[in-house]
Amino acid sequence: MEEEEQRTEPVVYEDLVDKRHDELMELLESRNMKQLREHMNEMQEFDVAEFLTSIEDNRMPMLFRLLSKERAAEVFANLETPEQERIINSITDSELAGIVEELYVDDAVDIMEELPANVVKRVMRTATPQTRNLINQYLHYPENSAGSIMTAEFVDLKKYMSVKEAFARIRRIGEDKETIYICFVTSAHRKLEGIVTVKDLLLADPDAIIEDLMDRNVIYAVTTEDQESVSEKFSDYDLMALPVVDKENRLVGIVTVDDIIDVMEQEATEDIQLMAGMTPSDKPYLRTGITEMWRNRVPWLLFLMLSATFTSMILTRFEGMLAVQAVLVAFIPMLMGTGGNSGAQASTAVIRSLSLGEVEPRDVLRVMWKEWRVAFLCGLTLSVVNFGKMLLVDGRLLNNPAVTVPVAATVSLSILFIVMFAKVVGSFLPIAAEKIGVDPAVMANPLISTMTDAVSLLIYIYVAKLILKI
Amino acid sequence: MEEEEQRTEPVVYEDLVDKRHDELMELLESRNMKQLREHMNEMQEFDVAEFLTSIEDNRMPMLFRLLSKERAAEVFANLETPEQERIINSITDSELAGIVEELYVDDAVDIMEELPANVVKRVMRTATPQTRNLINQYLHYPENSAGSIMTAEFVDLKKYMSVKEAFARIRRIGEDKETIYICFVTSAHRKLEGIVTVKDLLLADPDAIIEDLMDRNVIYAVTTEDQESVSEKFSDYDLMALPVVDKENRLVGIVTVDDIIDVMEQEATEDIQLMAGMTPSDKPYLRTGITEMWRNRVPWLLFLMLSATFTSMILTRFEGMLAVQAVLVAFIPMLMGTGGNSGAQASTAVIRSLSLGEVEPRDVLRVMWKEWRVAFLCGLTLSVVNFGKMLLVDGRLLNNPAVTVPVAATVSLSILFIVMFAKVVGSFLPIAAEKIGVDPAVMANPLISTMTDAVSLLIYIYVAKLILKI
């Protein structure tokens, strides 16, 4: 072990970033703007954005203005909304126009969707009519559709071109494209006819014709398609870029893999938030205000709290019976907890499988049959362990004379039924939600728990009536 | 609306896939092997794999053998473990060797990790010594490290090469590389000196020297780095490929973006499963056996069931007091549910922010202060609504004379304290877990609920003592 520790540790990239951040701060303190500009033009855009974000006073917009025009747009796209707003408010119209024109249209649209209306107005006013039209058109695609995440900057080729001509075109128009590695072959009517990669072109004879090289079997998406389905295509087919066509099958844009990474993070975050009973929000945690968090959280808490009225009613209704066997009350939280947890396991497994496309609504019976068997095994295990535990721990160790064999049997048998009910319902509801077009992630722990609570209680009471004859 | 519906709907890609599947089945039924082979060699590998998976009898391995050697490897990598096993068991050693040599080393390693030991032995025996060594070396990197997901097939260049020479090298060795678009410039000692993209090369003068074109500011990972940190780099910097260096800073492999998409799905699935109290598994739902699901689920259920013993003990301890005011029992499930849900919201938000890198352990105080204020707002809202609801619904509407103003006040005040406790604990525990190296996702709904259950009960009892003087 000693020897292991003495080996040289590799320098991790994060340390380099931290070190450079300190250097930049020193340059800033000593007002060495020339070197600061040089550094900022060499660094990764993301790191420049992080550096700017870390400066909270009005030197930030000033530093931003040191960047070259193209750099400025790239860094701008990497900033969060509050910083973007601060910058927009402190630059001239012509500087703003420069940035907007340099942005990829999908980034511009993303930014517009977050900025306050008055800022958007100013941005749109400074843009050229052509850019303004493009942005407006993109803003009209449904939220989270392929159309809303695609970009217009792609390389299109014609099938009669030679490889040499294709390279000439790539060299001429490639500079500003999101990707040049996948080229899209279109007809005179802008219909998508095939794709060809730069790898194909590099490995081919310079005089070969695109038509003979292109892959006609193209995977594509439709503008209105949900982004979740788009990201499934990237994951299934290992794509770098996906063409998007409109209703008339014309190529209108492409989605690139770096955008899909953001989509995947966003979709997973949304699912996770919904599954914990929160309104989804893609704002970073530390950037979300207190009242916004309250607005995202309180509706579900209220709804679930009020739904618990049913459980209260059941308990009130059977108050007399529970008074006769007061010991039964002590196990209500455990039974409800077990029901909720069992149901949550099933619903979570099914929700995740639905969003990965591993399970389809038509599998509903297979899923329920599977959960029914798993529930039986889990329920039986818990039931047996609980029976032993109640007699040994609650009965002997904690010396509670009320914990008799019939009482332990009542609780244990209830567990078996509750687990089976919870798992079958927990697996059914997300699929039913998907079927009727509701996000299955809603059918997760909080809702399932609240629903199983009332039923668990009823199961418990009827089993008690049966076994304890009360 | 009528008019809208009459428009031609675009043909979605999924329908094309379904249609082709039917055509293939017809060809298979009519034993038209020649055309079947042609189709299978033109289709996307993923679609071929899906088609093969759909055939459950022994025609599947037979169809697989129709594929060309290179195709066979690509399709093989897209199959699930059971199908891979069936194929390995029905092909000759030399066919197997052909596939293993064609596979990218990261895919080969993925496959080896899943196959049963005896099958792995046979695969390793048929591989060339060189491939065997490479696979063995990769199998030794820690699970989920950059080393375990990287691949060895990259294009390396030298800085003294000209663009023309670089292209010649790409053309010569590019065929079998995972990506040719990012090239890695290495020194004589295999140290990473810079990267250059094919886009840079295409836009440069053919006589330019790589040294003048390459970007020295390279983002990289270390072999032992966790895959979650690797995928954060892809998402931050919009990368297509990331170089991986060893302890001596030598370039040993690259990670490509298509692998990161799988990593992200896998990490999100693992988090979600852990958060619902299940042992993570990356097997697709419908492919997981009943006993395996039972093994993944029952430990948590058992643990949580047994933990509920504390709640039982508290209830038993205060049995006498609850008998005096039996109405209090009716609100226990609602209070516990509200505590659990509030805590789960906070813990989920924090867990997700930790895994996206938005929150670091050093932010612990900021996070708790935020949650404390949100909890106060949420708790107050719930408290006020509950007070009104109890008096109106439980008291008047359901005609329960036991629901008096002091009782409603007891329950409502308890809500406020419970929500505040749950949210602060729920936000603290995941950060504490991260700090001590435990996966924060464990500190989610099931565990938080069980913990808050006992405390909620104690809060309720002490508030009742205070207000109702019992």
- Cα separations in angstroms, B451 against B421, B444, B462: 11, 11, 18
Give the residue carrying structure tokens 């003990």: B313
- Return the residue of A nearest to B385 by Cα: A302
Distance CA B29, CA A286 (A): 60
Q: Which of A21, A239, A445 has the highest number of chain B CBs within 10 A, making it the mutation to test binding with B?
A: A445
The helix or strand, by DSSP H or E, that contains position A221, with its residue range, turns out to be strand A221-222
Residues of chain A contacting B304 with CB distance shorter than 8 Å: 337-338, 341
pLDDT one-digit tens code per residue, A66-125: 898 888 988 999 998 889 989 998 888 888 888 888 888 888 888 888 888 888 888 888
- Return the residue of A nearest to B167 by Cα: A202
- In the sheet where A182-186 sits, what is the strand order? A156-157, A182-186, A192-197
Residues of chain A contacting B460 with CB distance shorter than 8 Å: none
The beta-carbon neighbor of A331 closest among B233, B312, B367 is B312
Give the mean model confidence (pLDDT) for residues A433-458: 90
How sure is the predictor about B123, in pLDDT bands with cuts at 50, 70 and 90?
Answer: confident
Distance CA A78, CA A441 (A): 30
Distance CA A76, CA B375 (A): 35
Interchain proximity B199–A217, CB inside 8 Å:
no
Report CA B4 to chain centroid distance, whole Å: 40
- Rounded to a whole number of angstroms, the distance from the CA of A39 to the nearest CA of chain B is 11
Interchain proximity B301–A378, CB inside 8 Å:
yes
Residues contacting A369, CB < 8 A, separation 6+ = none
Distance CA B200, CA B203 (A): 5
Interchain proximity A46–B237, CB inside 8 Å:
yes
- Rounded to a whole number of angstroms, the distance from the CA of B130 to the nearest CA of chain A is 27
Interchain proximity B272–A276, CB inside 8 Å:
no
Give the mean model confidence (pLDDT) for residues B136-159: 88
Reading the block at residue B445, the tokens are 């709904």
Q: Which of A38-47, A303-312, A422-431 has the highest mean pLDDT?
A: A422-431
Beta bridge partners of B242: B255
- Cα separations in angstroms, A250 against A257, A415, A461: 21, 58, 64
Reading the block at residue B340, the tokens are 């659990």
Q: What share of chain B is helix, strand, coil (3-state, %, to 5)?
A: 70, 5, 25
Residues of chain B contacting A412 with CB distance shorter than 8 Å: none
Compute, in degrees rounded to 10, the torsion defined by CA atoms B300, B306, B310, B311. 80
Reading the block at residue B446, the tokens are 């099931």
Residues of chain A contacting B340 with CB distance shorter than 8 Å: 340, 449
Interchain proximity A247–B7, CB inside 8 Å:
yes
pLDDT one-digit tens code per residue, A334-391: 999 999 999 999 999 999 999 888 899 999 999 999 999 999 999 999 999 999 999 9
pLDDT one-digit tens code per residue, A216-246: 989 999 999 999 899 999 988 999 999 999 8
Q: Choose among A26, A25, A29: nearest CA to A52.
A: A25
Distance CA A103, CA A365 (A): 49
A1 pLDDT higher than 80: no
Q: Is the entire prediction scored with pTM above 0.80?
A: yes
Amino acid B17: pLDDT? 86
Residues of chain A contacting B453 with CB distance shorter than 8 Å: 333, 337
Amino acid B8: pLDDT? 55
- Return the residue of B nearest to A338 by Cα: B305
Give the residue carrying structure tokens 């092997």: B33
Interchain proximity B265–A262, CB inside 8 Å:
no
Distance CA A104, CA B4 (A): 31
Residues of chain A contacting B313 with CB distance shorter than 8 Å: 330, 398
Interchain proximity B284–A353, CB inside 8 Å:
yes
- Rounded to a whole number of angstroms, the distance from the CA of A281 to the nearest CA of chain B is 10
Interface A-B, measured as beta-carbon pairs within 8 A, has a size of 390
- Return the residue of B nearest to A317 by Cα: B330
Interchain proximity B329–A315, CB inside 8 Å:
yes
Q: Which of A181, A250, A281 has the highest number of chain B CBs within 10 A, making it the mutation to test binding with B?
A: A181
DSSP single-letter state for residue A127: S
- Return the residue of B nearest to A367 by Cα: B286
- Return the residue of B nearest to A291 by Cα: B374
Q: Which of A158-162, A175-179, B98-102, B174-178 has the highest mean pLDDT?
A: A158-162
Q: Which of A312, A325, A347 has the highest number of chain B CBs within 10 A, making it the mutation to test binding with B?
A: A312
- Cα separations in angstroms, A110 against A246, A375, B176, B233, B319: 20, 45, 37, 21, 58
Distance CA B408, CA B382 (A): 12
Amino acid A9: pLDDT? 62
Contact (Cβ atoms closer than 8 angstroms) between residue B181 and residue B198:
yes
Domains of chain B (ranges plus CATH)? 13-140 (1.25.60.10), 156-256 (3.10.580.10), 308-468 (1.10.357.20)
Contact (Cβ atoms closer than 8 angstroms) between residue A458 and residue A339:
no
Residues of chain B contacting A329 with CB distance shorter than 8 Å: 315, 319, 322, 329
Contact (Cβ atoms closer than 8 angstroms) between residue A463 and residue A417:
yes
Q: Which of A245, A272, A273 has the highest number of chain B CBs within 10 A, making it the mutation to test binding with B?
A: A272
Distance CA B23, CA B15 (A): 12
Give the mean model confidence (pLDDT) for residues A308-321: 90
Interchain proximity A389–B337, CB inside 8 Å:
no
Q: What are phi and psi of A404, to 5 degrees?
A: -95, 175
Distance CA A84, CA A77 (A): 8
Amino acid B298: pLDDT? 94
How sure is the predictor about B6, in pLDDT bands with cuts at 50, 70 and 90?
Answer: very low
Amino acid A205: pLDDT? 93
The beta-carbon neighbor of A247 closest among B8, B175, B262 is B8
Interchain proximity A264–B269, CB inside 8 Å:
no
Amino acid B3: pLDDT? 41
Tell me how crowded residue A316 is: count the other CB atoms within 10 A of its CB.
19
Average pLDDT over all residues of chain A: 90
Give the residue carrying structure tokens 């998907």: A434
B7 pLDDT higher than 50: no
Residues of chain A contacting B373 with CB distance shorter than 8 Å: 290
The beta-carbon neighbor of B330 closest among A275, A291, A315 is A315
Residues of chain B contacting A386 with CB distance shorter than 8 Å: 305
Residues of chain A contacting B231 with CB distance shorter than 8 Å: 261
- Rounded to a whole number of angstroms, the distance from the CA of A452 to the nearest CA of chain B is 11
Residues of chain B contacting A43 with CB distance shorter than 8 Å: 217
- Return the residue of A nearest to B423 by Cα: A297
Q: How many CA atoms lie within 13 A of A27 on its CB side?
A: 17
> Distance from first CA to last CA of chain A, Å, rounded?
66
Interchain proximity B306–A246, CB inside 8 Å:
no
Residues contacting B449, CB < 8 A, separation 6+ = A337, A340, A341, A449, B336, B339, B340, B343, B344
Tell me how crowded residue A317 is: count the other CB atoms within 10 A of its CB.
12
Interchain proximity A326–B331, CB inside 8 Å:
no
Q: Which of B50, B71, B293, B387 has the highest number of chain A CBs within 10 A, making it the mutation to test binding with A?
A: B293
Supply the Cα-derived Rg of chain A in whole angstroms: 30
Residues of chain A contacting B359 with CB distance shorter than 8 Å: 285-286
Amino acid B9: pLDDT? 62
| B227-237 helix and A257-275 helix, angle to the nearest 10 degrees | 120
Q: Choose among B284, B216, B217, B219: nearest CA to B257.
A: B219
Q: Choose among A124, A126, A146: nearest CA to A136.
A: A124
The beta-carbon neighbor of B249 closest among A10, A174, A313 is A10
